[in-house]
Amino acid sequence: MVKPNKDTSTQESLIRVEQLSVEFGQHEVLHDIDLAIIRGETLAIIGESGCGKTVLLKTIIGLLHPTRGSVMFDGHDMARLGERALTRERIRFGFVFQQAALFDSMTIAQNLAFPLRQHTQKSATEIEEIVVARLTEVGLPESARFKKPAELSGGMRKRVGLARALALEPEVVLYDEPTTGLDPIMSDVINELILETRRRHLVTSVIVTHDMKSAQKLADRIVMLYPLARLQEGEPQILFDGTPADLEQCRDRRVTQFVHGEAGERLREMQNGL
């Protein structure tokens, strides 16, 4: 595995994943993952479908529990927290879901207001002000708050999802494929909004993505996972951990084929039924 040149040993790890394994029945998705995420950094997690990227993201926030190992957030083991304590820690996260995951029956304003009503004692006036401010921040007009999600384009729904994730002013924002299904222009709009979010809110960001342009543009550091079934015995599941510049110099053929979108040996494996 390629490891980062940057020494992070003296820096503060906000999130620390230690010997993490996640299984569903007899199917193991993540095996013995060790990963430290430094406060304030933007980490991109890349890798082909089925390698466990989204499972890792959901385990970090406590939506899934480890089979073995742990996820430490700001010194707390997420899997060992009671429901009330876990809820308190989750409020410190914002989660941008792949398909925005908006409530179809609610207006955009109601979607954004939902976490504020659930987790704060703010007045209706304060909530309305936050809703308008967050919509403005992601480049949507105030009139959008009266619409339902079905009335918006895919790119607009993605921006609403980002606005909702920021409603509680989280310390960490997790992004699950934020540009999937968008055209190149709208993908770059989302990338610019993510960069602006980092500048305005000084958050720690973890981005799961297949989009190498997004990963290169947004990340301070990139980690590549690989499907367990395709690893040799004893190989670590993290094939690469380094900066975007390091990624360009990586000589692992599995990494370079993914980065450059080359089928290579993967096509031959599929033809052979592997």
Residue 4 has pLDDT above 50, yes or no: no
How many domains does the chain divide into? 1
**pLDDT value at position 6?**
45
Distances (CA, A) of 37 to 13, 58, 136, 177, 191: 5, 15, 30, 19, 20
- pLDDT band at residue 8 under the 50/70/90 scheme: very low
| Amino acid (one-letter) located at 74 | D
- pTM tops 0.85, yes or no: yes
DSSP output for 173-186: EEEESTTTT--HHH
Residue 144 has pLDDT above 50, yes or no: yes
Q: What is the residue-averaged pLDDT of the chain?
A: 90
Tokens encoding 200: 């305005």
Q: What CATH number is attached to the domain comprising 5?
A: 3.40.50.300
Question: Is 245 inside a domain boundary?
Answer: yes
d(CA 270, CA 17): 32
**Is residue 194 within 8 Å of residue 205, measured between CB atoms?**
yes
% residues pLDDT > 90 (the chain): 73
The domain of 217 spans 1-91+208-264
Q: Where are the alpha helices (DSSP H) in the chain?
A: 53-60, 83-90, 108-119, 124-137, 154-165, 184-201, 212-218, 244-249, 253-259, 264-271
pLDDT (tens digit per residue) in 200-257: 888 999 999 999 999 999 999 999 999 999 998 889 999 999 999 999 899 999 999 9
| Amino acid (one-letter) located at 144 | A
Question: Is 270 inside a domain boundary?
Answer: no
Q: Is 86 exposed, middle or buried (0-12, 13-18, 19+ CB in 10 A)?
A: middle
Question: Is 75 inside a domain boundary?
Answer: yes
